[in-house]
Amino acid sequence: MNHIVEVKATDVRFPTSRDLDGSDAMNPEPDYSATYVTIRTSDGDVGYGLAFTVGRGNDVTVAAVRALAPLALGLDLEEVLADLGGFSRRLTGDSQLRWLGPEKGAIHMAAAAVVNAVWDLYGRREGKPVWQLLSDMTPEQLVDLVDFRYLQDALTRDEALEILRRAEPGRAARRRHLLEHGYPAYTTTPGWLGYTDEKLVRLSQDAVAEGFTQIKLKVGAVLEDDLRRLRLAREAVGPDVRIAVDANQAWGVPQAIEWMRGLKPFDPYWIEEPTSPDDILGHAAIRRAVAPVKVATGEHCHNQVMFKQLLQAGAIDILQLDASRVAGVTENVAILLLAAKFGVPVCPHAGGVGLCEMVQHLSMFDFIAVSGSTEDRVIEYVDHLHEHFTAPVRLRDGNYLAPAAPGIGAELYPASAADHRYPDGPVWREGTDV
C-alpha cells in the first residue's frame, strides 16, 4: 500500500520589505513568506503546497501544519485521492483543531497548504496540471468535493450539478481556446504605495506596452497622494485601460464611501477591500453607494460561508478568491460554483509567493468547466519572486499561458527554499539578500 509518510512544513521568507515591494495601506513592510509543505508517500510520490503570509507569524502557520500532519500521515494515498472532499473535511473538521477556527485563520491556511500539496501530488501522478485535472473530472466527481452542509440555502448539490452539466458540451472548445490564447491578466506591479511617482508612471506605461488592459493601484493612506497618483496613472495609461484601486481594508464604511467619491473623477474600475474583510453588510452598503464603481473583495475572505453571504447580500461585483486563505483547491471548487450560481465574475487574488502559480489553475478550470467565460475576468499578476519556482507562470500579451507542468505550480527550487529558510537560511542569517 502507498501511504502518506511525510508532511513537512518549512518556514520560508523573502526579505521583500527591504525594497518596499508589496507595500500598501495596511502592509507597509511585508516580508513575503510561505508556509511551504512537502508531502511524500511510501512509494515516492511527492507534492508541494504552500500558504502565503507576509512575514512574522509564518512560524504560527508552520505550527498549524504540524498540528494537522497527524491527520494525513499513514493514510492510503489511493483512498485520499478517491475522496478528496473527505480528505479536506478530515483536515478542517477535526473536532479539537477546528476550535481554532472554525475554518478560518492560521489553522485554515495550514489546511490550504496541505490540501494544495495533495492536489499537486495528484496532478503529478496523473501527469496533468491541476487546471486540466479538474477539467477532466465529471460533474459528479466535482460536486463530491464540495461540503454542502452550510451552503444549502444558497447552492444545493443539484444546482451545482446543473451548472457543471450546462458547461460540459463546451469544455473541449474552451480548452483549445485557452491553450491558444491564455487567460486574461491584470497587473499590480506599478501601484505599490511605497513606489515613487516616477516609478509608478514608468511601470504603468510598461504595463500597457506589455499588453495589459488593467492595472491596479494601492490607495487608502493619504487622499491627496491617491488623487495625484491616480491622475498620473490615468494620464500614463489613457482612458481605455482599466485602473482598479485597492484600499487593503484601510477604511470604515462611511469613510470608504466618502474617499471613493473623491477618486471618482479618475474612473476607477473597482475598489478592492474598502473595509474589514468580515464586513459583508458593510461591503453591500459601500457597493450601493459607489456604483458604478465595482466592489471587489476576497483575498481575506476566510471560507465558503463568508463568500456565500457576500453573494447573497449583493455585496460584491467581483469575487477575488485566494489559493491559500480558504482550504485550497477543494474549497475553491465550491466557491467557483457559488460565484457561477450568482453570476459574479471571479478575479483571483495573486502575487505574494506562488499565488499566481496556483490560482491560474482555478481560473482556467472555471473557464473550461464552470462559468465557461472569461468576460470581465482577470487574474492578478505581480512580477515578484517567480524565479524561485520550478514552474513559474508565463505571460504573453497580458495573458497567462496555460501551464503545462503537472501539478499546481507551488514547488520551490530546493536552493531557494534553503536560502530563505527562516531564521537559519543564509538570507536571514547574514541579514542581506543573496
Tell me which residues are annotated as active site: 218, 349
Report the residue number, 182 or 277, with the smaller CB distance to its own copies. 277
Near its own copies by CB under 8 A: residue from 2, 5, 27, 232: 27
Kindly give, in sequence order, each residue whose CB lies less than 8 Å from that of residue 331, ignoring residues fewer than 6 positions away: 88, 112, 115, 147, 303, 304
Q: Is residue 327 involved in binding its own copies (CB under 8 A)?
A: no
Report the largest interatomic distance among the alpha carbons of the chain, rounded to a whole angstrom: 64
Residue appearing with cell numbers 487546471: 131
* Through-space distance between the first and last CA atoms of the chain, rounded to whole angstroms: 43
Report the residue number, 104 or 384, with the smaller CB distance to its own copies. 104
Site for its own copies in 69-98 (CB under 8 A): 94-98
* Range in contact with its own copies (rule: CB under 8 A) among 47-55, 118-126, 179-187, 202-210: 47-55
Q: Is residue 302 involved in binding its own copies (CB under 8 A)?
A: yes
Q: Is residue 152 involved in binding its own copies (CB under 8 A)?
A: yes
Q: Is 164 left (phi over 0), alpha (psi -120 to 50) or beta?
A: alpha
Kindly give, in sequence order, each residue whose CB lies less than 8 Å from that of residue 1, ignoring residues fewer than 6 positions away: 42, 76, 78
Q: Is residue 380 involved in binding its own copies (CB under 8 A)?
A: no
Near its own copies by CB under 8 A: residue from 1, 44, 149, 169: 149
Q: Is residue 202 involved in binding its own copies (CB under 8 A)?
A: no
Q: Is residue 116 involved in binding its own copies (CB under 8 A)?
A: no
Report the residue number, 45 or 272, with the smaller CB distance to its own copies. 272
Per-residue binding letters, 153-192, with its own copies (x by CB under 8 A): x---------------------------------------
Output the CA torsion sign for 76, 78, 82, 87.
Answer: positive
Q: Is residue 331 involved in binding its own copies (CB under 8 A)?
A: no
Q: Is residue 194 involved in binding its own copies (CB under 8 A)?
A: no
* Amino acid letter for position 258: E
287 in Cβ contact with 318 (< 8 Å): no
Q: Is residue 40 involved in binding its own copies (CB under 8 A)?
A: no
- Quote the DSSP letter at residue 325: T
Q: Is residue 430 involved in binding its own copies (CB under 8 A)?
A: no
Near its own copies by CB under 8 A: residue from 297, 303, 360, 399: 303
Beta-strand ranges (E) seen in 1-135 are 4-13, 33-41, 46-53
134/137 Cα distance (integer angstroms): 5
Chain Cα centroid distance, residue 138:
24
Beta strands 4-13 and 33-41 are antiparallel
Site for its own copies in 281-300 (CB under 8 A): 281-282, 285, 300
Report the residue number, 106 or 215, with the smaller CB distance to its own copies. 106
106 in Cβ contact with 58 (< 8 Å): no
Residue 17 CB, shortest distance to its own copies, in Å, is 9
Near its own copies by CB under 8 A: residue from 20, 55, 161, 314: 55
Residue 50 CB, shortest distance to its own copies, in Å, is 14
Q: Is residue 324 involved in binding its own copies (CB under 8 A)?
A: no
Report the residue number, 74 or 252, with the smaller CB distance to its own copies. 252
Report the residue number, 35 or 360, with the smaller CB distance to its own copies. 35
The CB density around residue 305, as the number of other CB atoms within 10 Å, is: 15
Kindly give, in sequence order, each residue whose CB lies less than 8 Å from that of residue 57, ignoring residues fewer than 6 positions away: 106
Site for its own copies in 234-263 (CB under 8 A): 249, 251-255
Report the residue number, 160 or 236, with the smaller CB distance to its own copies. 160
Beta-strand ranges (E) seen in 42-134 are 46-53
Q: Is residue 405 involved in binding its own copies (CB under 8 A)?
A: no
Query: In b/e form, how buried is each residue of 360-395, taking b as 16+ CB within 10 angstroms?
Result: bbbbbbbbbbbbbebeebbbbbbbbbbebbebbbeb
Near its own copies by CB under 8 A: residue from 200, 244, 306, 358: 306
Total residues belonging to the chain: 434
* Amino acid letter for position 69: A
Report the residue number, 103 or 366, with the smaller CB distance to its own copies. 103
Q: Is residue 205 involved in binding its own copies (CB under 8 A)?
A: no
Q: Is residue 5 involved in binding its own copies (CB under 8 A)?
A: no
Beta-strand ranges (E) seen in 341-412 are 379-381, 395-396, 399-400
333 in Cβ contact with 131 (< 8 Å): no
Binding site for its own copies (CB under 8 A): 26-31, 53-57, 59-61, 63-64, 66-67, 94-109, 148-153, 249, 251-255, 275-282, 285, 300, 302-303, 305-306, 308-309, 312-313
